[in-house]
Structure 1
Amino acid sequence: MAQPFQFELVSPERLLLSEKVLEVIVPGSEGEFGVLKDHSPFMSTIRPGLLKVRKDGGQLLEFFVRGGFADVNASGLTVLAEQAIPVSALKADVLAQQIKDAEEDVADARDDDSRHKAETLLSQLREIQAALKAA
């Protein structure tokens, strides 16, 4: 049976999770990988996707993550994500409306700076939507 290990999920805004877990599945840039207690140390960059955390008792938590890196070491796993959002906080209809609004912002942009900001937001929203559809 899997043994618990320390896991931390950190975004620029806040610490989302810091506790003992049984397993974490990370969307690494070279492919998904699973981490259990006493995993060999390594680092990986992260691609947009779903990070899955299995807690003691079988509870599964899912987070959309984009960018950043994962650090597996003797003390556990730390994921520093550019963006991390609990999947439970994402609503498909709200996301679809945000994408529509962002598309309008791109079309209405009057200068390169405004267009770039709108395109960046639109890209991030589409990454979230794609990760949810793939789940």
Structure 2
Amino acid sequence: MANTMQFDLVSPEKRLASLEATQVQIPAAEGDMTAMPDHAPVITTLRPGLVKVTGADGSETSFAVTGGFVEINAEATSVLAEHAAAGDADSRAALEGFLEDARKRATEAEGDHKDVVEKFVADLEQLLEDMV
């Protein structure tokens, strides 16, 4: 059994992280999950939340994501985020802009689409709260 796995986080803008990790906590669409070395292969979608990475040296780093996909296998975890940030003030301001836009869309949405947009708004609100 390996002690570490490769972790990569990319967004359309840039690669945010590439490091050896012992575990990665993921805000998956169906619920939170933790990937560790020798994990069974999984591909799933992300909801807005914090991806928390424990490095090989024991350090912990968090990245805010607004959605996307994650691929996990025995050797690596790769996050392909719609938008991702390291949690600084600029990132928080961008996420607050996303939240404002999502709230506007929620007021205009109808039917089943309204439920989806309202859930997205709730997830973004929780993400901003978790960043404090």
Instruction: Mark yes or no: TM-score above 0.5.
Output: yes
Verify the 8 A CA contact 2:37 2:75 in the aligned structure 1.
no
Verify the 8 A CA contact 1:95 1:125 in the aligned structure 2.
no
Matched with 2:66 is: 66
Quick one: which amino acid aligns to residue 23 of structure 1?
Answer: Q
Mapping 1:56-95, distance limit 5 Å:
56-87=56-87, 89-90=88-89, 95=93
Quick one: which amino acid aligns to residue 47 of structure 1?
Answer: R
Q: Relative to 1, partners in 2 of residues 1:63 and 1:28: Cα closer, same or farther, differing over 3 Å? A: same
Verify the 8 A CA contact 2:47 2:123 in the aligned structure 1.
no
Q: Relative to 1, partners in 2 of residues 1:21 and 1:42: Cα closer, same or farther, differing over 3 Å? A: same
| Deviation of 1:125 (Å) | 9.4
| Deviation of 1:19 (Å) | 1.5
Q: Which moved more, 1:26-35 or 1:68-77?
A: 68-77
Matched with 1:131 is: 127
- State the percentage of identical aligned residues: 35
RMSD of aligned residue pairs (Cα, Å): 3.1
Q: Relative to 1, partners in 2 of residues 1:125 and 1:13: Cα closer, same or farther, differing over 3 Å? A: farther
| Deviation of 1:58 (Å) | 1.8
TM-score by length of 1: 0.69
**Equivalent residues, number:** 112
Question: Aligned equivalents of 2:7 and 2:85: distance in 1?
Answer: 16
Mapping 1:37-116, distance limit 5 Å:
37-87=37-87, 89-90=88-89, 95=93
Matched with 2:20 is: 20
Residues 18-41 of structure 1, C-alpha deviation per residue, up to 9 Å, x if partnerless?
111111000000011000001000
Q: Relative to 1, partners in 2 of residues 1:14 and 1:50: Cα closer, same or farther, differing over 3 Å? A: same
Question: Aligned equivalents of 2:16 and 2:122: distance in 1?
Answer: 22
Q: Which one has a bigger Cα radius of gyration?
A: 1
TM-score by length of 2: 0.71
Question: Aligned equivalents of 2:70 and 2:20: distance in 1?
Answer: 16
Long gaps (5+) in structure 2: 105-119
* Structure 1 ranges of 4+ moved more than 4 A: 124-129
| Deviation of 1:3 (Å) | 1.1
Long gaps (5+) in structure 1: 107-123
Matched with 2:117 is: none
